Amino acid sequence: MKNTTTVLTQRDNLCIEQCSCCDNIHLMYQNLLLKFTPESFADFESALSKLEFEKRAVTFGDGSDKMLINTPQKEIQLCFTKSEFELLRESLKEALLMIEVSQILYC
């Protein structure tokens, strides 16, 4: 049996898809690839939905404001402009909605 993925959402340089064999969720954005279990994906979306860009933004040397997001790996942080962060949050919500719809239809 061939493993397939279902695209949950795709916008600009961002794609979120779910693997049919293991249910893992892959978030691909530019050169970043994150892998989640369905539970950790929901936790990630919940955590990001509570963040406010304006309260966490840092002005970088080039004059741009970016938000830093810590990860469990202390040496790695995610860094987003406001528009990138909004794209990410909207895409996470949309992907979760697609997962819920799929569970209703196929379970």
Per-residue pLDDT tens digits of the chain, which is 107 residues long: 467 999 999 998 999 999 988 999 999 999 999 999 999 999 999 999 999 999 999 999 999 999 999 988 999 999 999 999 999 999 999 999 999 998 888 76
**CA distances in angstroms from 32 to 39, 79, 89, 105, listed in the order given:** 20, 11, 15, 31
> For tokens 């049996």, what's the residue?
1
Cβ–Cβ < 8 Å for 18, 8? yes
Total tally of structural domains belonging to the chain: 1
What per-residue confidence (pLDDT) applies to 107?
A: 67
Cβ–Cβ < 8 Å for 32, 13? no
What per-residue confidence (pLDDT) applies to 27?
A: 97
What per-residue confidence (pLDDT) applies to 66?
A: 97
Q: Residue 29 is part of which domain span?
A: 5-106
Number of other residues whose CB lies within 10 A of the CB of residue 35: 13
